[in-house]
Structure 1
Amino acid sequence: MTATIRGRFQWTVALPVLALVLLAATWANHDAWPVLVLIGAALVASVVCAVHHAEVVAHKVGEPFGSLILAVAVTVIEVGLIVMLMTSGGEGTSTYARDTVFAAIMITVNGILGISLLVGAAKHHLVSFNAAGTGSALSTVVALAAVCLVLPSFTTSGEGREYSVSQLAFAAVASLALYAAFVFTQTVRHRDFFLPVSSDDQGRATGLLDEDGDGHADPPSSREAGLSAALLVASLVAVVGLAKLLSPSIEDGVKSLGFPYAVVGVVIALLVLAPESIAAVRNAARDRVQTSLNLALGSAMASIGLTIPTIAVAMIWVDGPLVLGLEPTQMVLLAITVAVATLTVVQGRAKALQGFVHLVLLATFLFLSMQP
């Protein structure tokens, strides 16, 4: 057993470092197909390592801090990728932030949430979670989406689906305020609302999960957790950096297939959110769906609450318009997602059917992104 843990520890330490070395070595020249294949393999390995180190850190700090750390870490790197691609110019620069953030919302609220409920309920028949905590997270996501992505389509001060300078500044401040208020609620004022719950045979929550009696291993040492935190950051940097190197090939593939440019944002969002998706599924399989929902909704929230303020500041140096307002089809999908998610969350327990419904909505979003 010790040898297995030691071997796993060694490869999860080595692979992020090798991925960063590959990223640095191929940054200037990565057009050859063998190099692109190697980059793709390193990207997958970095995703797996990110999940492992995130779980080590989460086990050390406990919930809900663990899911918050992964959500914020991924989103900070995602923001860097968005800004990097916007400054590089190109066909979809003006709508890249909107398309990527909206894709992140659809992937987290429908994809991560849906697959977590499906996996958890398929294994445990019914899954339970705290409706009060999850509901407050969902309401914050809805408010952020409305302020940052819906209202720009209806305001009159800016051109088209853009905010004016003062409106963008207000949206940035409001986003940060909402996100900060939620983090305070989640980690200080009402932390118990976001902890995994135990349940009876009918899936009704009966209290907080007994962390000391669930058969889990002892928390890692502070040294091991600190190393995993550093390697988590390294893995996430590798994920986003390698995704950036693959993005021209993704763009060429999207164009050759005749898909809209928005599909590029969807693909990048899928790659960046892969660590959270895998971590959420693993927690759902362990009957810790509350942690999965923390990851899903926390990632959606961070994707808006941190991205929009950063983009607002970046627009000081980035030339060109910033289109944030959603198209009519996107607004309809968002409205349906909000309605379904509300019905899912309000009961505090879910069957596999609810997860399947969310996954169908994700599939609808993906299909309409390719065939609008």
Structure 2
Amino acid sequence: MRYKVAILGATGMVGQKFIQLLDNHPWFDVSAVIASERRVGKIYGEEVDWIVSRDVPKSVRDLEMLPMDPKKVDADIVFSALPSDVAREVEAKFAAEGFVVASNASAFRMEPDVPLVIPEVNPDHLGLIEVQKRNRGWDGFIVTNPNCTTIVLVITLKPLMELGLKEVNVATMQALSGAGYPGVPSLAITDNILPFIKGEEDKVESEPLKLLGRFEGSEIRFASLRVSASCHRVPVIDGHTEAVFARFDRDVSVDDVIEAFKSLKPIEGLPTSPEEVIVVREEQDRPQPRLDRDAGNGMSVVVGRVRKDGENGVKYIAMGHNTVRGAAGASILNAELMAKEKLI
């Protein structure tokens, strides 16, 4: 079965990445592009400032941009690349009208009845969908993916939970594309590092607790884990790099941690899944964004420099493509999982 999909916020960087990744998708066809009021009625290929690849895909080039009105849209799935303040109102309207909304926005991530999902980490949290529909009286529903930095981190933390993980400190080096387009002014970031990203540390410290929590039938019991983050913008185009310091309730070896990383498996049958969820590099100078961000077509997280960090501690470097695995690709993978589970 093929599904018709619409893109909310289709002209922005993440909206463009959705379109790029969905071009020639085996399950999903982009049938509608939805944009701000000033762009409604204009032709997508003529209006968009396309920056994510060489050319606008032919499949969407001649589509007329539609308003953010669910009554004007014909689609099975709506992918949202909206800013959070706009998403809170618009996504709710689409869900109320019966649409499946796969959202990259932060507006609903921490709502108690909204699934926050990474398929390889917590697919069972989709059980919140029925709770959400019942609570809100919606015919449709919203499923969210995490913040781009959180996704890279939590994919590496999931297999470590079985080793007795109890505390995580992380320092991030985040790519410019994470700020959208036009994003950070060139004079601010050239020859520089920005040691503050508004709202980022709060997301990185709170979202993992929900993602790694336990679904108990009608709610998520958050993980008893302490996460402390310091987030920084660096002059890299794509690929978030994270220095992670993990502490456990017992002594663990480097080999234990590497074996745990390799044990995390993709969900079979999803077109966007990588062959390896976590790629472990043994070189002393890897991962690097320029060399490793496209691993698994941008859907793998690459880990390296795994080493002991005192008693009961291990430290490592994790890196992932922030606009693929960390944004559009994450929502697409969530939608594929929902399609596989007959939730769409």
Both proteins in one fold, TM over 0.5: no
Name the TM-score, length of structure 1 as normaliser.
Answer: 0.25
Higher relative contact order (CA 8 A, sep 6+): 1
| Greater strand share, structure number | 2
Relative to the length of structure 2, the TM-score reads 0.27
